[in-house]
Structure 1
Amino acid sequence: MGNVVRDSIRVEILGSQHDRSSFESGVEPLDRYFRTQAGQEARKNLAAPFVLVLPDGAVAGYYTLSSTAVNVGEWPAQTVRKLPRYPLIPATLLGRLAVDRRQQGKGYGRFLLADALFRAVRSEIASFAVIVDAKDENAHLFYERESFFQFPDQPLKLFRPMADIAQLFK
């Protein structure tokens, strides 16, 4: 997939040219993952990390996408009624999303989310929804504001149906 550009910022697949050493979102597990694991997971095809690059080449944020499956019994009852009776329902996992603290408050989190949703809906791989596991209540509120729905009995796990996401990009 090509790069997405907005006012000279761009989102691209993580590569060796991206400096990850100074990235600091304020959430240590997200920072540690990006600095030490993201490249390895990309090379092993466990996750696809994407970075938001500023005009000066600095990384302002990142997210990861990968495939996943969710047990049919985990979905809300009103959603399950619309699904076939497969034991696992395919989905896309938005595994991590973080913005460097020096760039927070500029709308880059929403921009990264929109880019992730666009890439997910353009994929030619079957996926019923995009799934997120919010790291904390602030992340949960962010995803709820972006029209994600909570899984029953899992307050930090949310989803947005792919059919709904497709409507965003028509």
Structure 2
Amino acid sequence: MSLRIRRLERDDDRDQFRSGHPDLDRFFHRFAGQNQFRHHVGVTYIAVEHDAILGFVTVSPSAIEIDALPADRRRRLPHYPLPTLRLARLAVAETARDRGVGQALLRFALTLARRMADEIGCVGVGVVVDAKPAARSFYLRSLVSQRVSCTTL
């Protein structure tokens, strides 16, 4: 698989993307571009193979309250909101399931968080999982397999 991950561009054809989750598809088709290019509230990265969009991840800066962390994690951190990278949306095309696209996008987001930590400060990646138990288990499995410490908030 010759997968590339890059920033969403204005002229990318998002209309053909189908993840099988209408809310994620609607976000990608209608709002990912607006949020990135007009409102500047998040950036969407796409996984591309032969000009086909196989998946996307949307990230934005965020913060987490120190009290949301387990006590053993709080010891050496300042007691005010801590900068994080919010993983707001992640979806894989139905045609690309079980090919490692979701894992690649998650690894990419973790790499962004590490760069953010070095360049401007970041204590981690905050994964926002709204109401999808299957998605929650994907993130936890993926993060554990990559030896990333997990805290369920």
Pairwise TM-score range, normalised by the shorter structure = 0.7 to 0.9
Any gaps of 5 or more consecutive residues in structure 2?
A: none
Once the two structures are overlaid, the 10-residue window that deviates more, 130-139 or 103-112, is: 130-139
Q: Which of 100, 105, 110 is the matching residue for 1:107?
A: 100
Q: Residue 54 of structure 2 corresponds to which residue in structure 1? A: 60
What is the distance in 2 between the residues matched to 1:54 and 1:16? 18
Q: Which structure's residues are more often helix, by fraction?
A: 2
Cα deviation, 1:65-99, whole Å, max 9, x if unaligned, reads 1110111211122212231122x111110111100
2:62, 2:85 within 8 Å by CA — same for their partners in 1? yes
Task: Give me the TM-score of the superposition, normalised by structure 1.
Answer: 0.79
Q: Which of 125, 132, 151 is the matching residue for 1:130?
A: 125
Does the residue aligned with 1:20 lie in a helix, a strand or coil?
coil
Does the residue aligned with 1:96 lie in a helix, a strand or coil?
strand
2:45 corresponds to which letter in structure 1? F
Task: Give me the TM-score of the superposition, normalised by structure 2.
Answer: 0.87
Q: Residue 16 of structure 1 corresponds to which residue in structure 2? A: 10
Of structures 1 and 2, the one scoring higher in RCO (CA 8 A, sep 6+) is: 2
Q: Residue 150 of structure 1 corresponds to which residue in structure 2? A: 151
What is the distance in 2 between the residues matched to 1:125 and 1:104? 34
1:137 corresponds to which letter in structure 2? P
**CA RMSD, aligned part only?**
1.4
Cα deviation, 1:9-52, whole Å, max 9, x if unaligned, reads 21111012311112111122111110000001101210010001
Q: Does 1:95 align with 2:96?
A: no
Any gaps of 5 or more consecutive residues in structure 1?
A: 1-6, 155-170
Once the 2 structures are TM-superposed, how far is the Cα of residue 120 of structure 1 from its aligned partner? 2.0
2:69, 2:151 within 8 Å by CA — same for their partners in 1? no
1:112 corresponds to which letter in structure 2? L
2:129 corresponds to which letter in structure 1? A
What is the distance in 2 between the residues matched to 1:92 and 1:53? 22
Percent identical residues = 34
